[in-house]
Amino acid sequence: MTHEELEEAVPLYATGALDRTERQALEAHLLSGCPSCHSALKEYQSVASLLPFGLSPMQAPRDLKSKIMAARNPDPIADDRVFKDSARPSLEPGEWMNHLFPPIAPARSFSLPWAIGLGILLVVGVGSYFGWTYATRISDDSVKIRQLETSLQQQSDRMATLQQDLRVRDRTLAELQVDAQRKANDAIELKSQLMEREVELEAIREQLTAAGRGKGQDELATLLRRPDATVVTLAGSDVARRASAVLLYNPATDKIWLYSANLPECPKGTAYQLWAIDKKPVSLGTFHMDAGQTAHLLVRRLPEFEKAKRFAVTLEPRIGSPHPNGPIYLVGEPS
Helix (H, G, I), strand (E, B) or coil at 294: coil
Kindly state whether residue 121 falls inside one of the protein's structural domains: no
Range of the domain at 301: 217-332
Q: What is the CATH classification number for the domain harbouring 320?
A: 2.60.40
Give dist(CA 303, CA 306) in Å, integer: 8
Helix (H, G, I), strand (E, B) or coil at 311: strand
What does the pLDDT read at residue 84? 47
Kindly state whether residue 276 falls inside one of the protein's structural domains: yes
Cβ pair 245, 259 in contact under 8 A: yes
Strands (E), 46-164: none
292: left (phi > 0), else alpha (psi -120 to 50), else beta? Answer: left
- Read off the pLDDT of residues 107-161 as tens digits, 9 standing for 90 and up: 444 466 777 877 888 888 888 888 888 888 888 888 889 889 998 999 989 999 9
Give dist(CA 231, CA 198) in Å, integer: 12
Which of 52-61, 76-85, 320-329 shows the highest mean pLDDT? 320-329
Distances in whole angstroms, Cα of residue 16 to Cα of each of 4, 12, 31, 44, 45? 19, 6, 18, 11, 10
Q: Per DSSP, what are the bridge partners of residue 285?
A: 274
* pLDDT > 80? residue 104: no
- Read off the pLDDT of residues 267-312 as tens digits, 9 standing for 90 and up: 999 999 999 998 889 999 999 888 888 888 788 888 888 889 999 9
Give dist(CA 289, CA 264) in Å, integer: 7
Give dist(CA 107, CA 72) in Å, integer: 37
Kindly state whether residue 207 falls inside one of the protein's structural domains: no
Kindly state whether residue 248 falls inside one of the protein's structural domains: yes
Distances in whole angstroms, Cα of residue 7 to Cα of each of 32, 33, 94? 14, 13, 15
* pLDDT > 80? residue 230: yes
Give dist(CA 58, CA 153) in Å, integer: 75
Q: Would you place residue 167 in the very low, low, confident or very high pLDDT band (cuts 50, 70, 90)?
A: very high
Q: Is 289 exposed, middle or buried (0-12, 13-18, 19+ CB in 10 A)?
A: buried
Kindly state whether residue 277 falls inside one of the protein's structural domains: yes
Give dist(CA 52, CA 55) in Å, integer: 5
Kindly state whether residue 103 falls inside one of the protein's structural domains: no
Please tell me whether the overall predicted TM-score, pTM, comes out greater than 0.75 for this model.
Answer: no
Kindly state whether residue 86 falls inside one of the protein's structural domains: no
Number of domains in the chain: 1
Lowest-confidence range among 63-67, 104-108, 150-154, 167-171? Answer: 104-108
Kindly state whether residue 320 falls inside one of the protein's structural domains: yes
Q: In what order do the strands lie in the sheet with 230-236?
A: 281-287, 270-277, 310-317, 328-332, 230-236, 244-250, 255-261, 295-301
Cβ pair 286, 318 in contact under 8 A: yes
